[in-house]
Amino acid sequence: MASSIVLFGPPGAGKGTQAGNIVAITGKPQISTGDMLRAALAAGTTLGMEAKGYMEAGQLVPDDVIIGLIEERLTQSDANEGVLFDGFPRTIAQAEALSHIAELSVVIAIEVPDSRIVERICGRYTCGGCGAVYHDTFNPTASPGECDDCGHTEMKRRADDNEDTVLTRLSAYHSQTAPLADWYKERNLFVAINGDQDIEKVGAAISSVL
């Protein structure tokens, strides 16, 4: 398999927002474990039922479930030329498993201070049609309630986008995911991007890395 990219960062950093641009530049498909788990939950699958409680509480889903999900996804033919991982890996165990199944070219870390995260998460909404990501204040749709990208008129808010759950997600990020930064720095794969600036500026900084 050709090399893959990891998009890394705390909840609300802008991983989903920036993923489309990276897909357009590289042609690699986005694999978001969060989106896959939400789709499984909506479909009522066993996986979705298993993940539900963890996601609603803002805790990480167990490593074996996530690694199995990724292993299965990587067997699809669109992954042959490498992929863009969004929100995976999130633990050292996941990173170790990934190192046996895919080669990485870079880990792009979008860095945003904790003080910005709650306002970002609590103002987020997404298009129910294409999944485009918006924000009440920072990135609203041009016409209220209508997706700029696909024209769909049903907007969604995530069940885990509330202040209490965000704080648990942030705590999980710091204790379980942030240690991966050093792990990838030791492997010379880590590139930090300042995520505390306009969406377009974050996009330009990422493009220059690619």
Binding site for ligand AP5 (CB under 6 A): 9, 11-17, 33-34, 37, 54-55, 58-61, 66, 87-88, 90, 94, 120-121, 123-124, 133-135, 138-139, 169, 195, 198-199, 202
| Binding of Mg ion by 89 (CB under 5 A) | no
**The amino acid at 88:** F
69: Cβ–Cβ under 8 A, 6 or more apart, which residues?
Answer: 33, 36, 37, 47
Q: Of 28, 38, 90, 120, which one is the catalytic site residue?
A: 90
Q: Of 28, 38, 120, 169, which one is the catalytic site residue?
A: 169
Q: Is 15 a catalytic residue?
A: yes
CB of 163 to ligand AP5, least distance (A): 13
In angstroms, the CA 86 to CA 24 distance is: 15
Q: Is 158 a catalytic residue?
A: yes
Q: Of 73, 116, 158, 185, which one is the catalytic site residue?
A: 158
Q: Of 15, 28, 38, 120, which one is the catalytic site residue?
A: 15
In angstroms, the CA 29 to CA 89 distance is: 16
CB of 108 to ligand AP5, least distance (A): 12
The number of beta carbons lying within 10 Å of the beta carbon of residue 53 is 10
Decide whether 66 or 83 has the Cβ nearer to ligand AP5.
66
Closest residue to ligand AP5 using C-beta atoms = 34
| Binding of Mg ion by 16 (CB under 5 A) | yes
Decide whether 141 or 185 has the Cβ nearer to Mg ion.
141
**Contact between 195 and 113 (Cβ < 8 Å):** no
Percentages helix, strand, coil for the chain (3-state, rounded to 5) are 50, 15, 35
Q: Is 124 a catalytic residue?
A: yes
**What is the Cβ-side half-sphere exposure of residue 132, based on CA atoms within 13 angstroms?**
20
* The two structure tokens encoding residue 85: 């991982």
Question: What's the CA angle centered on 140, arms 136 and 145, to 5 degrees?
Answer: 95
* H-state helical runs in 58-189: 63-73, 92-101, 114-122, 163-172, 180-186
Q: Is 90 a catalytic residue?
A: yes
| Binding of Mg ion by 12 (CB under 5 A) | no
Q: List the single partner that 61 binds among Mg ion, ligand AP5, none, CB under 5 to 8 Å by kind.
A: ligand AP5
Q: Is 185 a catalytic residue?
A: no
Active site residues: 15, 90, 124, 158, 169
- Residues that bind Mg ion in the complex, under the rule CB under 5 A: 15-16
